[in-house]
């Protein structure tokens, strides 16, 4: 009986392997022609992504070095994937109507984001993107500057207690609350005030935990089935955090919707809708309410999804980049001096608030932020599902329908063919001369094409305000070296050991006038 059971299992396994090969024969044909790491039946290369988030990130970086700009294939469990790194190929995929659909793994993020622009299926995304994009205009973004300045001023006051301390502190502890407060205020008009409130913010804590949980799920295939993930949440006592992420924005939206309706009635009474709109500062939430009034058919759940998408996309990503940026300047004191000199030439030694006109003058700082985004792209991998056969540029490869296409900013940004010494920090990579030498899609921190990040300008402007204000008040220093920085992947790229710096009071003179 034992022998029969053993042989029966062997037969079942063999049958499954042959069925797998037959079902994926069009993928197998392409895979046989492409380079790629060794994979095994059923599990593919999944065994290489077991372990810590640091180990996973290290393996991804190894692949970028092994294959450089060459397309290569992966079997991720039973799913066939092709990694695209070369800018010409990236441009084709990101702009193709055949590759607008996000991969199935993005469904995991719907626990937090619902079906906002980041995770929505193509049909829903098309409608919402077309309606929301015009709202992100110069006039709206200009209205956010008082919030940028206000939240950054609180940050400056809070971090003051670290002055002249010899022990390093982690920038994240100050930058993350400031970024969340900023995005919460600009999207919902709600003063979350995590910077001033000494008590733990339940919503902020829930956001961080849910991000970690979804990251764990992405790299543990046994948690892919919804029932397994639900059981995991119950066993770990974490199910409540997803409810917190959902319920808090809905509560705020309800309150703000009532306020919006009251303002609309007040404006109607004085019959000056146009003048009222002109003088009334609008927030992202107001724009969604107005779109709904104009026939946009946004449910409260739709509005919540878009708001939470903006909040998570605009807080963590900006906070990580600002932390990396200040850490880079702490390591490279000569570059920090150049940034400060530019700031001093614009503002002098005073504390005037930053305006939208000032932002355009911070040219070298923008190079520094872009170089930070190149070196540490917060979203290292983008996944698209190929819905019709698609030919890529760099070869005669045709990606079959059903292929998971992995766009790799981490690989593109670190190709020695595009950026000399790609793991060094050099803002001159973004001088006009060097930009002109490279393909447009050599730099894709905000993705690209129709599904590119809608908030890229918001992110760049808010980061400029934070970094420049920080450097007007403090100089940053650190004992660590660039080579000491280790990366991990928790949905987004982060530093394993945080962002340790010390700060000193800023000598309010340009560096070229100091003895």
Q: What is the pLDDT of residues 217-264, one digit of tens each?
A: 877 777 888 888 888 888 888 888 888 888 888 888 888 888 888 877
Please report the beta strands in 7-71, taking only residues with DSSP state E, as ranges in sequence order: none
Q: Decide: 473 and 326 in contact? Cβ < 8 Å.
A: no
C-alpha 285/C-alpha 91 separation (Å) is 32
Give the model's pLDDT for residue 23: 65
Using the predicted structure, report yes or no on whether residue 273 has a pLDDT greater than 50.
no
* Local confidence band at 269 (pLDDT 50, 70, 90 cut-offs): low
C-alpha 339/C-alpha 469 separation (Å) is 11
Q: Three-class SS of residue 74?
A: strand
C-alpha 286/C-alpha 294 separation (Å) is 12
C-alpha 245/C-alpha 241 separation (Å) is 6
Query: Tens digit of pLDDT for each residue in 178-193?
Result: 999 999 898 888 888 8
Give the model's pLDDT for residue 66: 93
Using the predicted structure, report yes or no on whether residue 494 has a pLDDT greater than 90.
yes
CB neighbour class for 206 (10 Å; exposed up to 12, middle 13-18, buried from 19) = buried
* Local confidence band at 279 (pLDDT 50, 70, 90 cut-offs): very low
> Helix, strand, coil proportions of the chain in percent (round to 5)?
60, 10, 30
* Local confidence band at 348 (pLDDT 50, 70, 90 cut-offs): confident
Number of CB atoms found within 10 A of residue 421's CB: 9
* Local confidence band at 205 (pLDDT 50, 70, 90 cut-offs): confident
**Residue bearing the bigger pLDDT, 238 or 462:** 462
Structure tokens at 126: 């098309």
Using the predicted structure, report yes or no on whether residue 121 has a pLDDT greater than 80.
yes
In angstroms, the Cα distances linking 170 to 29, 463, 493 are 50, 18, 16
Give the model's pLDDT for residue 200: 54
Q: Decide: 310 and 183 in contact? Cβ < 8 Å.
A: yes
Sign of CA dihedral 194, 324, 68, 394: positive
Q: What is the mean pLDDT of residues 304-322?
A: 88
Using the predicted structure, report yes or no on whether residue 337 has a pLDDT greater than 90.
yes
Position of tokens 């670190």? 414
How many Cα neighbours within 13 Å face the side chain of 35? Answer: 9
Give the model's pLDDT for residue 198: 54
Sign of CA dihedral 441, 489, 193, 253: positive
CB neighbour class for 360 (10 Å; exposed up to 12, middle 13-18, buried from 19) = exposed
* Local confidence band at 302 (pLDDT 50, 70, 90 cut-offs): confident
Of 416, 504, 455, 338, the residue nearest 68 (C-alpha): 416
pTM of the model: 0.90
Using the predicted structure, report yes or no on whether residue 368 has a pLDDT greater than 90.
yes
Q: Considering the chain, what percentage of its residues have pLDDT values greater than 70?
A: 90
Query: Tens digit of pLDDT for each residue in 420-455?
Result: 999 999 999 999 999 999 999 999 999 999 999 888
Query: Tens digit of pLDDT for each residue in 13-71?
Result: 666 666 656 667 788 888 888 999 888 776 777 777 777 888 889 999 999 999 999 99
């Amino acid at each position: 009986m034992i022998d029969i059971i053993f042989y029966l299992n062997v037969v079942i396994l063999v049958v499954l392997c042959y069925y797998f090969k037959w079902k994926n024969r069009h993928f197998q044909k392409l895979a046989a022609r492409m380079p790629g790491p060794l994979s095994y039946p059923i599990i593919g290369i999944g065994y290489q992504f077991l372990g810590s988030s640091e180990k996973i990130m290290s393996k991804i970086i190894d692949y970028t070095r092994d294959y450089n700009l060459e397309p290569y294939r992966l079997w991720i469990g039973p799913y066939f994937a092709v990694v695209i790194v070369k800018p010409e190929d990236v441009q084709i995929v990101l702009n193709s109507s055949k590759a607008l659909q996000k991969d199935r793994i993005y469904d995991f993020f719907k626990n937090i984001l619902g079906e906002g622009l980041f995770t929505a299926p193509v049909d829903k995304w098309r409608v919402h993107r077309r309606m929301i994009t015009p709202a992100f205009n110069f006039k709206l973004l200009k209205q956010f500057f008082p919030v940028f300045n206000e939240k950054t001023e609180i940050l400056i006051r809070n971090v003051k207690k670290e002055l002249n301390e010899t022990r390093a502190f982690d920038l994240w502890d100050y930058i993350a609350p400031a970024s969340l407060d900023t995005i919460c205020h600009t999207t919902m008009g709600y003063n979350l005030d995590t910077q001033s409130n000494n008590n733990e913010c339940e919503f902020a804590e829930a956001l961080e935990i849910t991000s970690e949980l979804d990251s764990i799920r992405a790299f543990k295939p046994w948690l892919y089935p919804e029932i397994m993930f639900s059981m995991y949440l119950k066993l770990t006592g974490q199910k409540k955090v997803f409810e917190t992420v959902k319920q808090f924005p809905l509560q705020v939206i309800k309150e703000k919707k009532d306020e919006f309706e009251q303002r609309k009635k007040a404006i109607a009474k004085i019959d000056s809708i146009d003048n009222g709109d002109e003088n009334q500062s609008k927030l992202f939430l107001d724009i969604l309410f107005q779109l709904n009034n104009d026939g946009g058919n946004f449910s409260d759940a739709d509005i919540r999804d878009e708001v939470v998408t903006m909040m998570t996309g605009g807080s963590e990503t900006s906070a990580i980049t600002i932390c990396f940026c200040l850490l880079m300047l702490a390591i490279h004191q000569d570059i920090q001096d150049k940034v400060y000199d530019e700031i001093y030439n614009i503002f002098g030694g005073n504390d005037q608030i930053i305006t939208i006109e000032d932002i355009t003058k911070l040219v070298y700082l923008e190079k520094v932020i872009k170089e930070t985004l190149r070196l540490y792209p917060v979203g290292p991998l983008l996944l698209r599902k190929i819905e019709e056969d698609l030919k890529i540029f760099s070869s005669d490869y045709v990606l079959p329908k059903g292929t998971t296409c992995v766009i790799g900013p981490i690989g593109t940004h670190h190709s020695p063919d595009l950026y000399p010494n790609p793991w060094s920090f050099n803002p001159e990579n973004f001088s006009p001369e060097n930009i002109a030498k490279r393909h447009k899609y050599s730099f894709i921190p905000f993705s690209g094409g129709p599904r590119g990040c809608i908030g890229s300008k918001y992110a760049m402007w808010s980061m400029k305000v934070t970094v420049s204000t920080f450097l007007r008040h403090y100089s940053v220093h650190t004992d660590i070296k660039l080579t000491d920085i280790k990366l991990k992947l928790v949905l987004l790229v982060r530093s394993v050991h945080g962002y340790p710096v010390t700060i000193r009071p800023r000598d309010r003179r340009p560096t070229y006038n100091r003895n």
